[in-house]
């Protein structure tokens, strides 16, 4: 039963979603069912967040208690989790039952610091700590692209030389100064790159991969629906 | 063989007639202003029928013992080699099942491959680390890995923190995993699932850490990054085939063959389209495949 029940649920939910795709959601109960199903996913996801917090605290707290290498970074992680979470779930007014109890202990002037609104602790941490760090990480991508390109574009064989030349042309075409340079040689070159390289070779290969991936996706979905593929549950 | 073929064809024709009949009744019952059935999606429905029939037919043949040939995929074959290398070096294996949630089919494919990898890792006694971005993936991943350890009778070696939640933010997750890679220097990094802008950040760091890297994703825009930075890359459909390929189970391989058959039909359809377009008479043919 432990193995069969999830397969039955997956089958029924999957079939309902497939059938509802072909029916008008306003004329059949399937539309409502589909909406409900997607809401359930969100609700279940909310509950599993507790598992995530539990996992992050357990792994990092253990490292801190053992004073393993870099334990202070792990301590910072645990503190950050609670520093973001606790102020955001605190009441922002004394209207609710929890709010009344909370603000009978703490001054009501603290209300503005809680919740997720403007000028709250959460908002401040998000705008001035979280967001700049994310942007910094994203910005480093440029350097990674340069090092990856250096390794990828090496003219060791005829195919690699062709790739290198094509990449150089596309890179030139993508920047204004490069496009101006190409146009100065022949005004049609940028259009040819767009037509043959981007909308020709590149697009056709991408479509080939997309068609293959879509078929693979459909095949896997079918195997899951019919209970043939159970490896995602650890079975088989 | 002929008997098998005949009975399968009869079953598929019956099923097709039943479903088509059901939808025909639905179509006839609908009014033009507010239809029940989405007639604009009829092409997808027919494709779904053909596709399902092909996959089920080949799966059934595989069940009945028909030998199915599946071409060698070097990236998947390298998984065992990578784990073996990690075992020899006494270093961990890093597995990332993508950074999408469990409702994404690529993540499910990643988890399926994780199950196979975890079995090899458990058998060799190699440390495994699976950082995840979503709590639902955490729950599913823990179940998959624990089951793998159970199946090779090494449950006592299973650590519940093998699969661990790292961060919900894309780049916070990337920073944590990159930091871990540079500190722990894993011998093998396996990336299987949905990846976005962090694909190159992860793969380049893994390369700098000296790990053998195998990646697989169905997202064409991330493939060049993986190809540039990884030793092996599974492209598109290969990601979905990996689990079946690693298991060598005839039932799962049957699905792959069915998929190949439909691919052949699509190639034929594209060729017909090209020929019709060359003679400038392909308008009606194009409309068949135009769905909202």
3-state secondary structure A118-133: CCCHHHHHHHHHHHHH
- Most confidently modeled range among A220-229, B45-54, B98-107: B98-107
pLDDT, chain B, mean: 88
With an 8 Å Cβ cutoff, is B277 touching chain A?
no
Residue of A232 and A219 predicted with greater confidence: A219
3-state secondary structure A51-112: HHHHHHHHHHHHHHHCCCCCHHHHHHHHHHHHHHHHHHHCCCCCCCHHHHHHHHHCCHHHHH
**Interface probe with A: pick from B97, B136, B145, most Cβ of A within 10 Å:** B136
Question: Could you state, in order of their start, the residue ranges of all structural domains in chain A?
Answer: 1-83, 90-139, 142-233
- B261-273 confidence digits (pLDDT tens): 999 999 999 999 9
Q: Give the contacts of B221 (CB within 8 A, at least 6 positions apart).
A: none
The CA dihedral of B33, B36, B42, B45, to the nearest 10 degrees, is 170
Residue B8: what pLDDT? 64
> Among partner residues B166, B167, B239, which is closest to A216 by beta-carbon distance?
B239
- B51-77 confidence digits (pLDDT tens): 888 988 888 888 888 888 888 888 888
pLDDT at B4 over 60: no
- Cross-chain Cβ contact B41/A18 below 8 Å: no
Fold designation for B74-247: Rossmann fold (3.40.50)
pLDDT at A46 over 80: yes
Question: How many CA within 13 A on the CB side of residue B6?
Answer: 3
What distance in Å separates the CA atoms of residue B86 and residue B36, rounded to the nearest whole number?
57
With an 8 Å Cβ cutoff, is B233 touching chain A?
no
For residue B269 the two structure tokens come to 């359809």
- B39 band by pLDDT with thresholds 50, 70 and 90: confident
- B210-226 confidence digits (pLDDT tens): 999 999 999 999 999 99
Residue B218: what pLDDT? 94
- Cross-chain Cβ contact B48/A233 below 8 Å: no
With an 8 Å Cβ cutoff, is A157 touching chain B?
no
- Cross-chain Cβ contact B171/A134 below 8 Å: yes
Residue B138: what pLDDT? 95
- A83 band by pLDDT with thresholds 50, 70 and 90: very high
Contacting B residues, span 98-127, partner chain A, CB-CB under 8 Å: 101, 103, 105-106, 108-109, 111-112, 115-116
**Least confidently predicted of B40-44, B160-164, B200-204:** B40-44
> Among partner residues B161, B170, B240, which is closest to A217 by beta-carbon distance?
B240
pLDDT at B21 over 70: no
What distance in Å separates the CA atoms of residue A168 and residue A160, rounded to the nearest whole number?
12
- B32 band by pLDDT with thresholds 50, 70 and 90: low
Q: Which residues of A touch B135 (CB under 8 A)?
A: 45, 48-52, 55
The CA dihedral of B118, B122, B128, B130, to the nearest 10 degrees, is 30
pLDDT, chain A, mean: 89
pLDDT at B34 over 80: no
Residue A37: what pLDDT? 85
User: pLDDT over 70 for what percent of chain B?
Assistant: 88
Residue B245: what pLDDT? 84
- B151-177 confidence digits (pLDDT tens): 999 999 999 999 999 999 999 999 999
Question: How many CA within 13 A on the CB side of residue A42?
Answer: 6
Residue B3: what pLDDT? 55
Question: Could you state, in order of their start, the residue ranges of all structural domains in chain B?
Answer: 2-67+250-289, 74-247
**Interface probe with A: pick from B63, B76, B112, most Cβ of A within 10 Å:** B112
Residue B243: what pLDDT? 82
Residue B42: what pLDDT? 83
**Cβ of A212: how many Cβ atoms within 10 Å?**
22
Q: Residue B113: name the closest of B2, B200, B218, B201 by CA.
A: B218
Residue of A31 and B194 predicted with greater confidence: B194
| Cα separation of the two ends of chain A | 15
Q: B56 in helix, strand or coil?
A: helix
**Cβ of A179: how many Cβ atoms within 10 Å?**
15
Strand spans (E) along chain B: 93-96, 128-132, 163-165, 188-192, 212-217, 232-235
Residue B12: what pLDDT? 67
Residue of B173 and B49 predicted with greater confidence: B173
**Least confidently predicted of A54-58, B136-140, B249-253:** B249-253
- B14 band by pLDDT with thresholds 50, 70 and 90: low
Residue B28: what pLDDT? 61
Residue of A172 and B282 predicted with greater confidence: A172
Residue with tokens 């494919």: B109
Q: What share of chain A is helix, strand, coil (3-state, %, to 5)?
A: 80, 0, 20
Q: Residue B117: name the closest of B73, B84, B161, B68 by CA.
A: B84
What distance in Å separates the CA atoms of residue B155 and residue B125, rounded to the nearest whole number?
11
Average the pLDDT over A73-84 and give the result: 93
Q: Which residues of A touch B174 (CB under 8 A)?
A: 137
pLDDT at A106 over 70: yes
Own/partner contacts of B11-14, CB < 8 Å, gap of 24 or more, are B12/B53, B12/B56, B12/B57
With an 8 Å Cβ cutoff, is A40 touching chain B?
no
**Least confidently predicted of A33-37, A92-96, B14-18:** B14-18
Residue B247: what pLDDT? 78
Average the pLDDT over A119-147 and give the result: 94
Size of interface A-B (CB pairs under 8 A): 199
Task: Decide if the complex's ipTM is over 0.85.
Answer: yes
Biggest alpha carbon–alpha carbon distance for chain A: 77
- Cross-chain Cβ contact B204/A58 below 8 Å: no
Q: Give the contacts of A175 (CB within 8 A, at least 6 positions apart).
A: none
- Cross-chain Cβ contact B262/A215 below 8 Å: yes
Min Cα separation A14/chain B (Å): 12
- Cross-chain Cβ contact A231/B218 below 8 Å: no
Average the pLDDT over A118-124 and give the result: 94
With an 8 Å Cβ cutoff, is A198 touching chain B?
no
Backbone phi, psi, residue B51, to 5°: -65, -50
Q: Give the contacts of B125 (CB within 8 A, at least 6 positions apart).
A: B87, B154, B157
Residue B197: what pLDDT? 93
- B25 band by pLDDT with thresholds 50, 70 and 90: low
Residue B71: what pLDDT? 83
Residue B113: what pLDDT? 93
């Amino acid at each position: 039963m432990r193995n069969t029940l999830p397969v039955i649920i997956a089958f029924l939910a999957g079939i309902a979603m497939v059938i509802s795709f072909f029916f008008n959601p306003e004329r059949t109960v399937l539309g409502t069912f589909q909406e409900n199903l997607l809401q359930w996913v969100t609700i279940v996801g909310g509950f599993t967040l507790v598992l995530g917090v539990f996992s992050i605290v357990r792994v990092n707290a253990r490292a801190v208690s053992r004073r393993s290498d870099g334990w202070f970074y792990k301590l910072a992680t645990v503190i950050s989790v609670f520093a973001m979470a606790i102020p955001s779930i605190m009441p922002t007014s004394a209207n609710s039952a929890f709010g009344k109890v909370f603000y009978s202990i703490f001054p009501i002037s603290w209300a503005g610091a809680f919740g997720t609104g403007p000028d709250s602790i959460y908002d401040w941490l998000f705008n001035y700590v979280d967001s700049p760090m994310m942007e910094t990480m994203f910005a480093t991508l440029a350097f990674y692209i340069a090092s990856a390109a250096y390794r990828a574009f090496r003219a060791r064989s005829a195919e690699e030389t062709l790739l290198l030349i094509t990449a150089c042309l596309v890179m030139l075409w993508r920047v204004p100064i490069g496009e101006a340079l190409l146009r100065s040689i022949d005004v049609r070159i940028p259009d040819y790159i767009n037509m043959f390289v981007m909308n020709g070779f590149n697009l056709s290969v991408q479509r080939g991969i997309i068609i293959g991936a879509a078929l693979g996706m459909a095949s896997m979905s079918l195997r899951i629906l019919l209970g043939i593929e159970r490896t995602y549950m650890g079975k088989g | 063989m002929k008997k098998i073929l005949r009975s399968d064809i009869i079953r598929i024709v019956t099923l097709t007639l039943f479903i088509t009949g059901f939808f025909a009744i639905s179509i006839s019952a609908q009014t033009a202003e507010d239809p029940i059935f989405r007639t604009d999606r009829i092409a997808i429905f027919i494709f779904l029928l053909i596709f399902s029939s092909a996959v089920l037919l080949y799966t059934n043949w595989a069940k009945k013992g028909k030998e199915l040939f599946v071409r060698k995929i070097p990236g998947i074959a390298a998984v065992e080699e990578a784990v073996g290398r990690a075992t020899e070096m006494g270093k961990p294996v890093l597995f990332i099942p993508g950074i999408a949630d469990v409702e994404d089919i690529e993540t499910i494919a990643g988890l399926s491959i994780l199950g196979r990898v975890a079995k090899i890792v458990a058998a060799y006694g190699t440390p495994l680390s699976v950082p995840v971005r979503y709590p639902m993936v955490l729950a599913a991943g823990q179940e998959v890995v624990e089951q793998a350890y159970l199946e090779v009778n090494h449950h006592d070696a299973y650590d519940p923190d093998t699969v661990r939640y790292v961060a919900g933010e894309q780049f916070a997750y990337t920073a944590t995993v990159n930091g871990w890679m540079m500190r722990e220097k894993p011998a093998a990094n396996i990336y299987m699932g949905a990846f976005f802008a962090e694909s190159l950040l992860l793969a380049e760091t893994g390369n700098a850490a000296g790990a053998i890297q195998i990646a697989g994703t169905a997202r064409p825009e991330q493939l060049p990054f993986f190809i540039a930075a990884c030793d092996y890359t599974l492209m598109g459909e290969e990601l979905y085939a990996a689990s079946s390929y690693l298991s060598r189970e005839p039932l799962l391989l049957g699905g792959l063959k069915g998929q190949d058959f439909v691919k052949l039909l699509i190639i034929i359809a594209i060729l017909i389209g090209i020929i019709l377009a060359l003679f400038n008479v392909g308008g009606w043919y194009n409309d068949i495949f135009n769905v909202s």
